[in-house]
Structure 1
């Protein structure tokens, strides 16, 4: 079946886990865009980027001046914007989705600001598709003090966030990652989305590296699907179990590699480590894994997913600054699209 997902590069690797004044300082948006634009895989180039809507890449508080800067910068690089990351965390002015009334109010304010900015990018013609990415902005340890109540609060907050997003013509994608409260296992994530009960409006962002840690049960051993020394059959059985539960909710897909370890730096809690596209320690058949998110259980492409995005947060600046890093990433994304397109069945 002939189908093509647009190819994007995440700008988050220039920010996440980076500490100003060190040898792993943030990499500017302009530099990240330059590296993205320069990469090639034969005659294929990146179509766009996914933006993180917080400083130093984006300062939404600057209003129209910042909107114009982002639009003009994207246009100058011949790139569009896809999904965006809402700054819902307390250190950036947001608050816990399971916190008290004031914390949840700050969370929702961050979502509203991000949705409005994202919708204006759409109006300006530089954002033809994509979701607004959120998470619970809290950690599994605090969640575990009262799991049922905390999941209820997160669901209520996400449901209200969905109402805000809908009013702006946007959709929300909750990033499945072991560091987020109530989202730290594949089963907890599915139960949360079912509690929110807004399919197509509040859905899931599947990151291959992070969801691999779901299989290992890193922060939820009771939901582990893989044993030590697992073989290929066990892996694909486990992966199918996870994608059957979360695939129908998936609105956004991040292509990534993992070595099965966790890492955190700066203010970022430990989570699944992203690896280089060609890392020999990588545990995933990225091309095959991606297809299980892009296609439903019948092999039909999920209609909400218009683009795929590479994500390599917490990779060293030395690696990120190397041109060949991005060429290899783009080559892998081409293989992902080719494989999924060949195996897809018509709706």
Structure 2
């Protein structure tokens, strides 16, 4: 229903950084993203909050307590809340989850720092829900040199990170992107999560990134759709999505709404991964509100209510697109459609 108020609707701020800089497009400032998020309105409905990447120049993971209080005040002044956070676990400040002892120690330390921020933002009353997002910070090619051993090494690192996160009352979510070793296919992702065996880890589903699990990029043996798949065959696509979500839904604790055109994409320093398309892209393969239901409802069609907000992740959109009011209007409209079909009232 239109008056559903859960899950809350969040916009991501890291698309202002990811795929930017490094000789490509300029970074979009945190303040600009806040302003654009707060300004959009569709039928009287606005975004409820933002999800944040904890890296320079937006919100450094080493932010002081005074920095975080200023962040709280700034976000609250726009009528927004903060939800999920991205831990900056990649080199050089972090390290590969299947790397050397030193690499893995840096990885865990970056998770600790992110969880400290998360806990403090909860204490400051600006972050009522959300997770801390991680990945393996290693490539599928490196992982494939010794899959069994490397999965166990990633799991060991994730266990240490989970134990640290538990000290701060935080949960970790591993994002389903084909560019991360040990997480690059749906089977690999489940194998890794099962090997971690901690109650405070789960899966972050992204309708664009995770969609490519269907096609077996970087793991043809795990493809769900046939190699000669015809995109006009909606029945087979729907069956594939149901198979995928049935496997991963029990692990899912964070969710990104997105569109995908069935191809990979990468810009700047960001490895090739699921192409985020505009919500209204004519080449988009997903029916956003219908296909979101595969993640938000169980096999019996009942709402899982496994997370209290959903987020739009618009990574790698050109700046010219990200600074158009129409872009955010269309995105918010798509998210409202998801909540109308699969939300609830509290």
Report how far residue 100 of structure 1 moved. Answer: 1.3
Work out whether 1:210 is the aligned partner of 2:209: yes
Aligned position for 1:173: 173
Asked if structure 2 preserves the Cα contact closer than 8 Å seen for 1:59 and 1:66, the reply is no
SS of the equivalent of 2:203 reads strand
Aligned position for 2:342: 340
Query: Cα deviations across residues 12-36 of structure 1 (Å, max 9, x unaligned)?
Result: 11111001564x1110000000000
Report how far residue 3 of structure 1 moved. Answer: 6.7
Structural mapping, 1:1-347, within 5 Å: 4-19=6-21, 22=24, 24-91=25-92, 93-199=93-199, 201-227=200-226, 228-230=228-230, 231-341=233-343
Unmatched segments (≥5 aa) in structure 2: none
Report the Cα distance in structure 1 between the residues aligned to 2:201 and 2:187, rounded to whole angstroms: 17
Report how far residue 330 of structure 1 moved. Answer: 0.5
SS of the equivalent of 1:60 reads coil
Asked if structure 1 preserves the Cα contact closer than 8 Å seen for 2:61 and 2:88, the reply is no
SS of the equivalent of 2:174 reads strand
Asked if structure 2 preserves the Cα contact closer than 8 Å seen for 1:260 and 1:273, the reply is yes
Choose 65-74 or 169-178, whichever is displaced more: 65-74
Report the Cα distance in structure 1 between the residues aligned to 2:37 and 2:223, rounded to whole angstroms: 36
SS of the equivalent of 2:51 reads strand
Asked if structure 2 preserves the Cα contact closer than 8 Å seen for 1:60 and 1:66, the reply is no
Asked if structure 1 preserves the Cα contact closer than 8 Å seen for 2:260 and 2:286, the reply is yes
Report how far residue 341 of structure 1 moved. Answer: 3.4
Asked if structure 1 preserves the Cα contact closer than 8 Å seen for 2:53 and 2:86, the reply is yes
Q: How many residues matched?
A: 340
Report how far residue 266 of structure 1 moved. Answer: 1.9
Query: Cα deviations across residues 296-317 of structure 1 (Å, max 9, x unaligned)?
Result: 2222322330000001100000
SS of the equivalent of 1:105 reads helix
Report the Cα distance in structure 2 between the residues aligned to 1:283 and 1:306, rounded to whole angstroms: 26
Report the Cα distance in structure 1 between the residues aligned to 2:213 and 2:130, rounded to whole angstroms: 24
Choose 232-241 or 310-319, whichever is displaced more: 232-241
Report the Cα distance in structure 1 between the residues aligned to 2:86 and 2:186, rounded to whole angstroms: 21
Report the Cα distance in structure 2 between the residues aligned to 1:195 and 1:264, rounded to whole angstroms: 30
SS of the equivalent of 1:78 reads coil
Report the Cα distance in structure 2 between the residues aligned to 1:197 and 1:131, rounded to whole angstroms: 17
Q: When the two structures are superposed, what TM-score results if normalisation uses the length of structure 2?
A: 0.95
Query: Cα deviations across residues 96-116 of structure 1 (Å, max 9, x unaligned)?
Result: 011111000000000000000
Asked if structure 2 preserves the Cα contact closer than 8 Å seen for 1:20 and 1:26, the reply is no
Asked if structure 2 preserves the Cα contact closer than 8 Å seen for 1:215 and 1:226, the reply is yes
Report the Cα distance in structure 2 between the residues aligned to 1:255 and 1:195, rounded to whole angstroms: 28
SS of the equivalent of 1:257 reads coil
Q: When the two structures are superposed, what TM-score results if normalisation uses the length of structure 1?
A: 0.95
Report the Cα distance in structure 2 between the residues aligned to 1:248 and 1:13, rounded to whole angstroms: 27
Report the Cα distance in structure 2 between the residues aligned to 1:10 and 1:104, rounded to whole angstroms: 27
Report the Cα distance in structure 2 between the residues aligned to 1:149 and 1:191, rounded to whole angstroms: 12
SS of the equivalent of 1:19 reads coil
Report the Cα distance in structure 1 between the residues aligned to 2:235 and 2:306, rounded to whole angstroms: 30
Report the Cα distance in structure 2 between the residues aligned to 1:3 and 1:17, rounded to whole angstroms: 32
Query: Cα deviations across residues 150-190 of structure 1 (Å, max 9, x unaligned)?
Result: 00011111111111111101100100000001000011111
Choose 189-198 or 241-250, whichever is displaced more: 189-198
